[in-house]
Amino acid sequence: MSIWKYADYYTAAVSEDNHISLGEGQTALVRSRSIGPSAGLENLYFKLESGNPTGSYKDRFAAVAISDMLERGAHTCLATSSGNTGAALAAYCAAAKICCRIAVVETAPLAKLQQMLAYGAEIERVRGFGLDAAITQKVIEALHEKAEQPGHALQISAFHWSPVGMQGVQSIAYELDSETDHVFCPAGGGGLTLAVARGFAGKNSAAVHCVQPEGNDTIAGPLRSGSDQARDVECSTKISGLQVANVIDGHEVIATCRASGGNGHLVSDAEIYHAQERLAREEGIFSEPAGAVALAGILRAADAGEISSEKKTVALITGSGFKDAVSVESMTANADCRLVDLKELFR
């Protein structure tokens, strides 16, 4: 099974022979056994996007984006990434025999860089990229110019830049049933949130919520305050994957989330790291920090009385804990793994 079961939903005409799949999609939906009940949420679920082939939801994007490139005879993929997009594109480019070149944000975790390199991608980190809105915009413009060459294509996981590939991300919504009341999505540039909201459009009345770190408040704050415009910021969050200082899909996210009945939610980095730890210790779910952002937003909303106990609420767990070794080391800093003789075992 893969997201190509929804091929009729995608506007790109990709022949079946050019469908590149590594088994993405159809990820598990797991009911919370601990965190939900303790927060007064009887029907809290986790959508485990960490179960995708390269460990994040970005595989849904890469599958459609690279298949479309193959259909059009393109031979070189140019991309930007904070880590997960790059890993996904690198893997699918390897499968399609397409050259992959990625400009990476300055603060990308080593594990994500290594994953891209393992798939054979050419990568370069750019000083200030992802943190400074002006530099970020100039990086994108430079790549856009290079992508004008024959056989080249620019792939950025946002509707503004890569609407074809982002249709693959809408498959998350197709996999959630009509009984879903709330879906909480982490947001950097907002593409994931917009994809889920568009995937639900006309299907049911699920409210789609945008959750961001306080240090990257491009969308969530304006959405909550009633504004219809996202904004560029000077990014200060340490949460890898969500360091996107520019608006990108933000304006559309605000309009679409608000129409669905969703809201914006801001959470601190400390809340995110705590949610990451709780997922591991209380639910057995190994998530990177960005993957725990939706849960942090749900817990804040529940505490404020914004979610009814009986409503079916889904948190998107977007990436694996293996993606960010530094955060896991911090989580386990006080743990010990001592070397013992047999006679000393667990004494």
Q: Which domains does the chain have, with CATH numbers?
A: 3-56+165-329 (3.40.50.1100), 58-164 (3.40.50.1100)
Tell me the H-state helices in the chain: 35-38, 58-71, 84-96, 110-118, 133-146, 163-169, 171-174, 191-200, 220-225, 250-260, 269-278, 293-303, 325-331
- Give the position of tokens 């669905």: 260
Q: What is the pLDDT of residue 221?
A: 98
DSSP letters along 240-263, please? TT----S-TTHHHHHHHHHHHT--
Which pLDDT tens digit goes with each residue over 84-106? 999 999 999 999 999 999 999 88
- Give the position of tokens 């909480």: 184
Q: What is the pLDDT of residue 185?
A: 98
Which pLDDT tens digit goes with each residue over 222-269? 999 999 999 999 999 999 889 888 899 999 999 999 999 999 999 999
Q: What is the pLDDT of residue 1?
A: 67
| Among candidate residues 192, 196, 186, 296, the one with its CA nearest the CA of residue 242 | 186
| Among candidate residues 30, 46, 44, the one with its CA nearest the CA of residue 302 | 44
Q: What is the pLDDT of residue 82?
A: 83
Q: What is the pLDDT of residue 109?
A: 86
| Among candidate residues 150, 148, 202, the one with its CA nearest the CA of residue 174 | 202
pTM as predicted: 0.94
Q: What is the pLDDT of residue 325?
A: 86
Residues of the chain with pLDDT under 50: none
Q: What is the pLDDT of residue 103?
A: 95
